[in-house]
Amino acid sequence: MAHRFRLPLLLIRHGVGLAAVALIVAGAQPSEVSFMKIERVTSPGGIEAWLVESHANPLIAMRFAFRGGATQDDPGKEGLAYFISAMMDEGAGELDAVAFQEREQGLAMRMDFDASRDVMLGNVQTLTANKDEVFDLVRLALTKPRFDQDAVERVRTQILAGLKFDENDPETVASLAWDRLAFPSHPYGRPIKGSMASITAMSPGDLKNYVGRVFARDKLVISVVGDIDAETLGRALDHMFGDLPGNAALSPVAEANPPLGPTREIIAMDVPQSVAQFGHRGIARKDDDFIAAYVLNYILGGGGFSSRLMEEVREKRGLAYSVHSNLFPFQHGAVFVGNVATKNEAVGQSLEVIESELRRLADQGPTAEELEDAKSYLTGAYALRFESSSSIASQLLWIQIEELGIDYVDRRNALIEQVSLADISRVAKRLIEADRLITTIVGKPVAPKPQAAPG
């Protein structure tokens, strides 16, 4: 089954920016513009992938993910998925780490992995001429990882060094503390990178156990963009992924229900400015109100210098160097989170202004002009996410992960356009609870001096 995507096929070309594409499209008649086709490919062995076939360049980009991610870290083994993500090119099959990485370099390929809360992500890029050898290396990495002790120790040392650095990074410390408060007794409250103690205790057997439980075909999603046809891809899918177990053995993950505050935790750190993270429960991705909430967040703090928080906190008052907000619709619990960084003397006032602006937006909603500006930007900028084969593959992968449908890219801008002022005002009241924030502050915040009573 194929689906035509309303962005020019020229967007697939590496190095062609939106401005160049806009010129090309502006000079063409609608009938002359080629459209990208998203095709659902099923291999002979039953493995499914979404394919955008383009022979403009001899390149192939592939993204894949296994559902599970850091939520599947064994108890007391926080950072297990993260550790594995750093080990996947450290030898497989008959190739030790040095031989494996030399093979990668010789093929001019890219392969890397990343662990998030809900998925383990894989990224592969190759020249078409090298695809067969690259796909075989991917197969080895996924089905026959070695996890040799010397490689494990080398990667462990690197991770521990990173954790030591993170201990002195205010933003990281504030984020980890916020997660702990927002997700008590839940996997989301545990650090994805683990701790010094958990990483130190990790063994090659722990890594092998995770791969055996999580890397399975029933929890796999794949997107491919570039110089490959459906038939060739189908055979390649079976070669790369066909030897994986049919079914994962995932541990159940409870639905998270972040508690509402007000809760405030201050973590002392000798730094010239304080960092604060604030937020509370959010709106799930499949909720009918999510798109309106997404537009609302752009107006509030997701729109950079055009956002309300940036205007009120930085531009009008000069209180903060940066302030922004985001929606994170994790699979088992959504949150609304914001961050602000400012000098120690201004953190208290900055948070007061933020809470006041949150309260005002919840009570009054945005203006009609703010809504139209937000919709215009969010629809117009969407094409920027599809500037290269790798970025297209990434977008299609997340659409699959979030189960939005193969036609989502066609529908997405229309969904944003349909958000009315009444919708967004209603969602503002539903989402924002300015008096119930969970807030973590890292630094040396100075309490503001009390104002003198009027004479």
Residue 51, pLDDT above cutoff 90: yes
Any idea which of 160-169, 235-244, 420-429, 441-450 has the lowest mean pLDDT? 441-450
For residue 122, name the pLDDT band (cuts at 50, 70, 90): very high
For the chain, the C-alpha Rg in angstroms (whole number) is 24
pLDDT given at position 75: 86
CATH, domain 263-383+405-443, list 3.40.640.10, 3.55.50.30, 3.90.230.10, 3.30.830.10: 3.30.830.10
Chain Cα centroid distance, residue 382:
16
- Name which residue leads in pLDDT, 24 or 130: 130
DSSP assignment of 261-302 equals --EEEEEE---SEEEEEEEEE---TTSTTHHHHHHHHIIIII
**What pLDDT is recorded for position 209?**
97
Return the CATH class of domain 2-241: alpha beta
The enclosing H or E element of 330 equals strand 322-330
Find the farthest-apart pair of alpha carbons in the chain and give their distance in angstroms, rounded.
84
Span of 20-24, 213-217, 277-281, 286-290 with lowest mean pLDDT:
20-24
433: number of Cβ within 10 Å: 18
pLDDT tens sequence across 60-87: 999 999 999 999 998 899 999 999 999 9
* 3-state DSSP helix/strand/coil % of the chain, to nearest 5: 50, 20, 30
Bridge-based pairing state of the strands 48-53 and 35-42:
antiparallel
> Model pTM?
0.89
Please write the tens of the pLDDT for every residue from 363-421.
Answer: 999 999 999 999 999 999 999 999 899 999 999 999 999 999 999 999 999 999 999 99
**Average pLDDT of 350-374?**
97
Strand residues in 54-177 grouped as ranges (E): 59-67, 91-92, 95-96, 110-115, 119-127
Measured between alpha carbons, how far is 378 from 368 in angstroms, rounded to an integer? 15
242-251, 375-384, 406-415, 441-450: the lowest-pLDDT one:
441-450
Q: Three-state DSSP class for 406?
A: coil
The answer, yes or no, to whether residue 239 has pLDDT greater than 90, is yes
Domain definitions of the chain by residue range: 2-241, 263-383+405-443
Q: Going by C-beta distance under 8 Å and a sequence separation of 6 or more, which residues neighbour residue 53?
A: 37, 39, 226, 227, 228, 229, 230
In the prediction, which pLDDT does 35 show? 60
